[in-house]
Homo-oligomer: A and B are copies of this chain.
Amino acid sequence: MSVHLHRELDRLRGRLLSLAGEVEQQLQKAITAVLNRDPQLADEVEAGDRKIDQFEVELEEECLKVLALYQPVAADLRFLITVLKINNDLERVGDLAVNIARKARTLSQMPPVRMPFDLDGMWRKVQEMLRQSVDSLVNGDADAAEDVCKRDEAVNAQKKAIRQQVEQLIEQHPDQVKTWLQVLAVSRNLERVADHATNIAEDVIYLVRGHIVRHPARFRDRDQD
C-alpha cells in the first residue's frame, strides 16, 4: 500500500512541476508582450489560461482520489494538502499572467513611451522566486524556501520604487496618466506573483519543519498596494 501511495505522491509532485512550468511560460509571454508591444502574444496568453485552469482542476481531482483511496496520514497527508494549496496558488498566478497580457494589449494601442525602469529585471527576480519555491517543495528543502521568503522584500521595494517613479512621471506628463497606470499595474501584478511564491515557500517550510512561519513573514512583507 505504502509503495503505491508513494508512487502516487511522486506522480502528483511531477504534475505540479509541469503546471508550474506552464504558468511560468505564460508569465514570460505576458511580459514579452508588454515589452515588445505585441497584442497577438497577449491573445495567446489569454487563450492559454484555459489549459492552466483545466490542469488545476484535474490535479485537484487526482489529489482527492489519492486521499480517498490511500487515506494517508501524518507527513503524507500534509504533503498532499500542500500540493492542493500550491496547485491553487499556481492557478491564480496564471490569472495574473492574463492580467499582465491584458495590460500589454492596452499598452500596444497607446503611444509608446520610454520606460525608465527595468520591468524585465523585476520579472527575472520574480521568476527565480517562483521556480525556487516550487523546487523547494520537490526537493523538500526548507532552506531554499526560506531564501524565497527573504527575497520577497527586494521585489516589494522595487515595486515601490516604480510606483514613486510613476507618480513623478504623471506629475510631469498628466496627459500620459493612462499609459503609466497600465505600466504600474504590470509591476503590481508581478509583485503579486512574488507574493504567491512566498506563500508557496511558507507552506513548504511548514511541511518540512512542522512549524508555522507563514504569517509573520507575510505580515512583514505584504504588498503595500
Contacts and interface: CB of A to CB of B under 8 A. Distances in A.
A167 B178 contact: yes
A71 interface: yes
B68 A219 contact: no
Contacts of A85: 84, 88
A171 interface: yes
Interface in A165-191: 167, 170-171, 174-175, 177-178, 181, 185, 188
A24 interface: no
Contact of A49 (B49, B81, B219): B219
Nearest to A223: B99
Contacts of A5: none
Interface in A56-100: 56-57, 60, 64, 67-68, 71, 73-74, 77-78, 81, 84-85, 88, 95, 98-99
B178 A102 contact: no
A160 interface: no
15 contacts: A50-B215, A57-B212, A60-B81, A67-B77, A67-B81, A68-B74, A84-B85, A95-B218, A99-B222, A99-B223, A99-B224, A99-B225, A170-B177, A174-B174, A185-B225
